[in-house]
Chain A
Amino acid sequence: MAFPEQHELHKRRFGRNVGLGLVLAAFVVLIFGLTVVKVTRLGQAQGFDHVLRPEIVPGQSETAPAARPPEATQ
């Protein structure tokens, strides 16, 4: 038994769905790309504590003091 022929409306609806799918996929790629670019250009990002930890900066672990007052590192 053959399926009844599709109405023109169904083709239009399908085209719209495919189009929207592609737009959403492109948007995901865009946000991902933007995130990668922004994060990799941040430099020494240290999460949300805003306190510099010299031990993670290469070459500074020996010379830097172990703890510094927070107001000087903001």
Chain B
Amino acid sequence: MSDARLYEQSGEAGFGDYIALLKPRVMSLVVFTAMVGVLVAPGNVHPFIAMTSILFIALGAGASGALNMWWDADIDAVMKRTAKRPIPMGRVQPGEALGFGLALSGIAVVMLALASNLLAAGLLAFTIFFYAVVYSMWLKRSTPQNIVIGGAAGAFPPMIGWVAVTGGISVEAVLMFMLIFMWTPPHFWALALFMKEDYSNAGVPMLTVTHGRKVTRAHIMVYTVALVPFALAAGFTSIGGPIYLAVSVILNAVFLWGAWRIWRRDEVQAEADHYAVEKQVFKFSLLYLFLHFGAFLAEAALKPYGLGGW
């Protein structure tokens, strides 16, 4: 096996390693939210063009993932969760990942422009720039608010999907953006509370390390409260309706209650039940986002039958 290892270190990657560079799990979320953005937007776009647009939005997101892995290879190697990524494992050379990410970014942006319109392509280019440069290179290692601002990169896909169909940005697109943008901090901080990763060794300032866990718990509460109005407001726009509003009211009430419970606990209580509440809220936050976008989709799907929307 020693000779095989030698080849591995010389950068002989398998096909799967290139797929891993695209962060497929993040991509699946992008596909879902971009798809909702496309499907709820008014106007009839050809299904093939809709599918192509979603595909290239996802490819752009994947490309920014590859660029992120190129830049963060040093800290990925230090942290247990990311140590098995292709670059720290030596299967893909850093330069290869950079070229791969840049080439796919170019292809994704140009193809989205050809398939839909220039504004959507411009937004995709900005998203890639935002994630790779603003978040990865600049914010991630310099401020504990990194995930707050970096969350914008994950919030763009439904807006790009909407713009790909309508050609313009409207209040609905902005509210879908804000829903993900405001949801990201409580989601990640709940994770940070129970995943005690060695961020400090890796040189990444996480709120739990820089300001302590008590402050993080308060931040979760504050950001959850700030998220609620955006989630509910979307219910009163053209993409909302009674179904969405009912789902949203329930989900927000549960999320607020979870954030409240996290806020009222201290570390001793959390240690005692192995962070049960934090884990619960983290899992629920995934469901929260999924069901909100699912409700948008339900409203759009029922519209032809006179049931969805207001």
Residues of A within 8 A of B13 (CB): 12, 16
CB atoms of B12 and A9 under 8 A apart: yes
**Interface range on chain B: under 10, 10 to 19, 20 to 34, or 35 or more?**
10 to 19
Residues of B within 8 A of A9 (CB): 4, 7, 12
Residues of A within 8 A of B49 (CB): 34, 37-38
CB atoms of B15 and A20 under 8 A apart: yes
CB atoms of A13 and B48 under 8 A apart: no
Residues of A within 8 A of B18 (CB): 16, 19
Q: Using an 8 Å CB-CB cutoff, how does the interface string of A2-40 with B read, 1 for contact, 0 for none?
A: 000001110011011011100000000010011001100
CB atoms of A33 and B12 under 8 A apart: no
Check: A41 CB closer than 8 A to any chain B CB.
yes
**Nearest Cβ distance between residue B307 and chain A, in whole angstroms?**
30
Residues of A within 8 A of B52 (CB): 30, 33-34
A7 to B4, CA, bound (A): 8
Across the interface, name the chain A residue whose C-beta is closest to B8: A9
**Nearest Cβ distance between residue A31 and chain B, in whole angstroms?**
9
- Assuming the A-B contacts A8-B4, A34-B114, are A16 and B14 also in contact, with contact meaning beta carbons closer than 8 angstroms in the complex? yes
B-side interface mostly: helix
CB atoms of A19 and B15 under 8 A apart: yes
Residues of B within 8 A of A18 (CB): 15
Find A13's partner among B12, B46, B114 (CB 8 Å cutoff): B12
Residues of A within 8 A of B48 (CB): 33-34, 37
**Nearest Cβ distance between residue A40 and chain B, in whole angstroms?**
9
CB atoms of A12 and B12 under 8 A apart: yes
Across the interface, name the chain A residue whose C-beta is closest to B114: A34
Residues of B within 8 A of A37 (CB): 46, 48-49
Check: B115 CB closer than 8 A to any chain A CB.
yes
A12 to B12, CA, bound (A): 8
CB atoms of B114 and A15 under 8 A apart: no
CB atoms of A34 and B14 under 8 A apart: no
Given contacts A15-B15, A34-B48, could you give 14 more A-B pairs where the C-beta distance is less than 8 Å? Answer: A8-B4, A9-B7, A12-B13, A15-B14, A15-B16, A16-B13, A16-B14, A16-B15, A16-B18, A18-B15, A19-B15, A19-B18, A30-B55, A37-B48
A selection of 21 A-B contacts at a CB cut-off of 8 Å is A9-B4, A9-B7, A9-B12, A12-B13, A12-B14, A13-B12, A15-B14, A15-B15, A16-B18, A18-B15, A19-B15, A19-B18, A20-B15, A30-B55, A33-B48, A34-B48, A34-B52, A34-B114, A34-B115, A37-B46, A38-B49
| Residues on B facing A (Cβ under 8 Å) | 4, 7, 12-16, 18, 46, 48-49, 52, 55, 114-115
